[in-house]
Amino acid sequence: MDKVFIKELKVDAVIGVYDWEKQVRQPLVFDLEMAWDIRVAAQTDDLMHALDYQAVTEYIERFVREQHFQLLESLLERLADGLLKEFGMPWLSIRVEKPAVVPQARAVGLFIERGID
Ligand SMILES: Nc1nc2c(c(=O)[nH]1)N=C([C@H](O)[C@@H](O)CO)CN2
């Protein structure tokens, strides 16, 4: 299946298990791949038939701004569910990095795949 992707989308979030993390916004970096058959969009040259990566980006920014979780797991599971329902892609993968929060590592994070490719 064809894929639409978003790479290194930076969004500030209130996220974390520790008290200090509930008082600040920390950067998260998202990479997404979303399955989408691009042929109808290509034939019609019409955004209406495309998976609009700008609209997906704005959905993620709004979701992360409005929802506060302790675990990245909680954020990612709900975000994936929301994207599948809102945009109707059959499959997606999301990778999220929390940079510089664990001093020994450049970044930590998660990678999930949901739906059917
Ligand atoms: N699997 C996870 N491990 C940890 C998380 C998380 O969200 N998922 N979060 C933390 C802290 O909030 C961390 O970001 C600061 O040390 C620890 N481990």
The partner residues of 106 in beta bridges, in order of sequence, read: none
Question: For residue 117, what pLDDT is reported?
Answer: 79
Range 3-115 has CATH code 3.30.1130.10: yes
Categorize the per-residue pLDDT at 115 as very low, low, confident or very high, splitting at 50, 70 and 90.
Answer: very high
DSSP secondary structure letter of residue 103: T
Q: For the chain, what are the domain ranges?
A: 3-115
Specify the pTM.
Answer: 0.96
Ligand 1 proximal residues by C-beta, below 6 Å = 16-18, 21, 71-73, 98, 101-102
Q: Is the pLDDT of residue 100 over 90?
A: no
Question: For residue 88, what pLDDT is reported?
Answer: 98
The partner residues of 13 in beta bridges, in order of sequence, read: 26
Report the C-alpha gap between 41 and 49 in whole angstroms.
5
Q: Is the pLDDT of residue 19 over 90?
A: yes
Task: Read off φ and ψ for residue 63, nearest 5 degrees.
Answer: -60, -45
pLDDT digits (tens, 9 = 90+) for 28-84: 999 999 999 999 999 999 999 999 999 999 999 999 999 999 999 999 999 999 999
Cα(24) to centroid of ligand 1, in Å?
Answer: 15
* 98, 110, 111, best to mutate for ligand 1 pocket (most atoms within 8 Å of CB): 98
Percentage of the residues of the chain whose pLDDT score is greater than 90: 98
Question: For residue 84, what pLDDT is reported?
Answer: 98
Cα(84) to centroid of ligand 1, in Å?
Answer: 25
The partner residues of 97 in beta bridges, in order of sequence, read: 29, 109
Task: Please give the average per-residue pLDDT across 93-110, as a whole number.
Answer: 96
